[in-house]
Amino acid sequence: MAHSAAEAVAVPSGDGAPGPAGPDRLVPFSVAGPQLNRTPATLRRWHDEGHLPAVVSPGGQWCTFQSFLDAVLGSARPGRPGVIEEIARVWFRDRGGEAPALAGAAS
């Protein structure tokens, strides 16, 4: 499920506290896609399949998190993005099963 970018406040570390760098930066799919050598449509499909955290900006632009891109690009396969399903599983696990901490979101 995508959330509004206005609701995204900080991506917590595994203990629920914001990470050392503070709030995670949102990266539009139009920027993230080329970094991963994929189209924005592929990133949307990955999100729909539950393999990519995303939020929708107030202007309707789909965005993902810089920390997720860093995890994909920093995977054990130099020069190539890692296996998205494995990376997503670890990224979500490290955040307690949720993408960002959301302000005012109902549980």
Residue 55, domain extent: 25-99
Q: Residue 80 above 70 pLDDT?
A: no
Q: Six-digit token pair at 64? A: 């993902």
Residue 74 domain-assigned (yes or no):
yes
- pLDDT, residue 76, reads 61
Q: Residue 45 above 90 pLDDT?
A: yes
Residue 10 domain-assigned (yes or no):
no
Residue 105 domain-assigned (yes or no):
no
Residue 7 domain-assigned (yes or no):
no
Residue 11: CB atoms within 10 A of its CB come to 24
- pLDDT, residue 74, reads 80
Residue 2 domain-assigned (yes or no):
no
Pick the closest to residue 55 from 12, 24, 96, 22 (CA basis): 24
CATH of the domain at 54: 1.10.1660.10
Total structural domains in the chain?
1
